[in-house]
Structure 1
């Protein structure tokens, strides 16, 4: 595979003075009516003009002579090169690829919407120009493929997969690192370096978003109920222990069961409890 090689070029200011000399030669030929001086001057001027090369900051120019890659000029400035070479300019600036939202299934088969932004730049101009057909389009297609592959590797969250160490929702840092590594591997053939890759949009697909929201709400309610019950059991246990230690009242097993039931109802109920005065006894 072809790789980039640096090349140097002659200063363009020297060719500018030669161009002025050629124009002066043409003017003298016209004045003296010498045809060959005019022809030589015009040809020399065209050669100078054709060989001019201007490289802007953070840009490079790949030189191709009769189908053969000659090298890349990375230094910015005004140069003169062989007038027969084809000059192809490649930007070395960092670029943003704001990926479109795509619908894909996660590891558990749930349809989700996901999008990512990729910051990239050209590292090897020869690979970018000659290894792929269109390197900008190549970056776009490979980035979408990498995002799809990433979504298939992990679950959206750990509601269904409680053993999942990394999820798309909660493992943003790890997921971004994995995406960046995969993109660098995919784009290395085109001489592209990925500086950063981040997930910018992540959501369930509209057709299941409502059901997933209800599931999340139910999970939150169950979790809250579990905490309430744990607290209530602890309070009942503490109450029975205090009553026993201070010998305030002696309770048999049936009375303890009734007390536990009443306390749990009071502590775990969603509404305020209306007290009922028992004028009799527990057994009548």
Structure 2
């Protein structure tokens, strides 16, 4: 039975075949259309903006320059962010002499009604201030009560601020300002006061064990010079600024020490024992980590840099072996140069140029004389024997 099959018509949306010479035994129109569709898709994927929860404005994060992906930018470590509105500002305070004047006035306002009503006995040295009646009236009670409240409020607001210290004022957990003025002051008695030391301080760390670039454990001891710069952040942004600084020192030291080896004996190059680079890098990294917490780091200096006790002996032996090998290399190079100079001077003095064999034999004898230990006689084979050994003939 003859079965015929009609060719289906090509749809209008089917991409037209590009002009060109016909291909023999090659791809059909279908394969070319599929290849073009893969190369130039009809639907292009649009990148989805990534929202960064750490951005202050909450908007979409911009794509980093250089075509880097947003996932890589989010994966990079960044110092913590603090509330930008939490910054130190000057708190309202009054001079102490004015508060003392108010105290004396309030004390007089309390004592005068009591003296006039006879509650406080009259002193003979003072003028008689008692009134004709001894009854306690409502106006006198109100005046004495008001003066007493003023006295208590003034006394509760007195503040003695020593040099190098500040008072951080808060009310119901909200920051209200910082008092940096020294001496006797008066502040709002309803505010809570926290003392913060802003003097320049230094901290000698305990021995911290970390690993260098080669994985060798080392022990480092640091001296950190720092002070509190922003009292608001140091008090309210973190639980304890001293504990925060201590933990950041350990983290920064671990990250910086892993960048270079402790010593560069066998491979010339920078090492952790280059104290200037190590101190500068530690200072820069620790200052960046401590700045969001209101701490200013001036310098970080390594006081001691040693290997851990479990590897100290083996590293000492390795160091001695490397020094011995380098010293031997220097001695051999110096001996070769001295022997070559002696041969040239001998040829110049005798005005006779030695042949290659004689020059080599003389060089070897001089090298043996220079390098051999004292009291050890080393024999050098003649040139003919050495030539026979090189050619493989028995000596």
Question: Shared fold by TM > 0.5?
Answer: yes
Distance in 2, matches of 1:211 and 1:271, equals 31
Do residues 21 (structure 1) and 114 (structure 2) align?
A: no
CA contact under 8 A between 2:167 and 2:196: conserved in structure 1?
A: yes
Q: Distance in 1 between matches of 2:376 and 2:342?
A: 19
SS in 1 for 2:188: coil
SS in 2 for 1:167: coil
C-alpha distance 194-174 of structure 1, shift in aligned 2 (>3 A): same
Most deviating of 196-205 and 14-23: 14-23
Q: Is the 8 A contact 1:22 1:41 kept in 2?
A: yes
User: Unmatched 5+ residue regions in structure 1?
Assistant: 277-281
The answer to whether residue 212 in structure 2 is matched with residue 109 in structure 1 is no
Counterpart of 1:181 in structure 2 is: 284
Deviation at 1:109, TM superposition (A): 0.6
Distance 2:297 2:353 in 1: 75
Name structure 2 gaps, 5 residues minimum.
Answer: 1-82, 120-135, 386-395
Higher share of residues assigned helix = 1
| Structure 1 residue 226: Cα displacement | 1.4
Larger radius of gyration: 2
Aligned residue for 1:112, secondary structure, equals strand
| Cα displacement (A) at 1:98 | 0.8
Residue 301 of structure 2 corresponds to residue 195 of structure 1:
no
1:57 is aligned to 2:163: yes
CA distance in 1, matches of 2:185, 2:367: 88
The structure 2 residue matched to 1:167, chosen from 263, 266, 271, is 271
C-alpha displacement at 1:120, in angstroms? 0.4
- Superposition deviation, residue 275 in structure 1: 9.4
Aligned partners of 1:26 and 1:42 also within 8 Å: yes
Paired with 1:273 and 1:263, the residues of 2 have a C-alpha distance of: 14
Deviates more, 1:148-157 or 1:58-67: 58-67
Q: For the Cα contact (< 8 Å) 1:106–1:154, is it kept in 2? A: yes
Match of 1:10 in 2: 94
Q: Which structure is higher in strand share? A: 1
SS across alignment from 2:167? strand
Aligned to 1:207, the other structure's residue is in SS state: helix
Q: Return the alpha-carbon distance in structure 2 between the equivalents of residues 128 and 275 of structure 1.
A: 75
What CA deviation, in whole Å up to 9, does each residue of 1:155-201 have, x standing for no partner? Answer: 10112543x3x3111x2112111111111110011111101110111
Which structure 1 residue ranges, 4+ long, deviate > 6 Å from structure 2? none
Matching residue of 2:203: 97
The alpha carbon displacement at 1:240 in A equals 2.3
Could you report, residue by residue, the CA deviation over 1:49-105 in whole angstroms, capped at 9, with x for unpaired residues?
111122222222121123221111212122111110111121110111111101111
1:275 to 1:136, Cα distance in 2 relative to 1, 3 A: closer
2:258 maps to 1:152: yes
* Greater relative contact order, per chain length (Cα 8 Å cut-off, separation 6+): 1
Structure 2 residue aligned with 1:279: none
TM-score (norm 2): 0.65
Contact 2:266/2:322, CA 8 A, preserved across alignment = no
**Aligned 8 A contact 1:10 1:81 in 2:** yes
